[in-house]
């Protein structure tokens, strides 16, 4: 009935599953920080990190990181794009917006 965007309940639970892990939440947090605190930033200049750069901040095996990135990607939380030998990751700001909406209003914007 409503004409604003909603997240389907099944997808929402996958989003929470994806963020329900220390390493994945840290990855998402790193990708979410696009600029230094106190500086200005526009919403669409999300930061890009290649997998190797993330790995250096995480103390887990590359295969484990790869698995976690796949989970975040499956949930639609991040973008992944190969550029030469490297794969670059960035947040999906659109999904971020929608999750934001869910926590903002009652009744919640979830279709069942």
Partner DNA sequence: TTTATAATTCGACATATTTCGAATTATAAG
Partner DNA sequence: CTTATAATTCGAAATATGTCGAATTATAAA
Q: How far is CA 111 from the centre of its chain?
A: 21
Per partner kind, with CB cut-offs from 5 to 8 A, the member of a copy of itself, DNA, none near residue 56 is none
First to last CA, the chain: 13
Element (H, E) at 79: strand 78-83
| Site stretch for DNA (CB under 7 A), options 26-34, 40-48, 50-58, 95-103 | 50-58
Per CB under 8 A, residues contacting a copy of itself are: 1, 9, 12-13, 16-17, 19-22, 25-26, 29, 32-35, 37, 41, 43, 46, 96-97, 99-100, 103-104, 106-108, 110, 112
């Amino acid at each position: 009935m409503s004409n604003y965007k909603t997240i389907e309940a099944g997808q929402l639970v996958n989003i929470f599953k994806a963020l329900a892990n220390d390493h994945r939440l840290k990855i998402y947090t790193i990708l979410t920080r696009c600029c230094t605190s106190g500086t200005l930033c526009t919403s669409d200049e999300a930061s890009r990190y290649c997998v190797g750069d993330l790995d250096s901040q995480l103390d887990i095996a590359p295969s484990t990181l790869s698995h976690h990135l796949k989970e975040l990607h499956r949930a639609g939380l991040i973008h992944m794009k190969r550029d030469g030998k490297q794969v670059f990751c960035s947040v999906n700001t659109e999904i971020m917006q929608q999750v934001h909406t869910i926590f903002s209003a009652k009744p919640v914007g979830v279709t069942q």
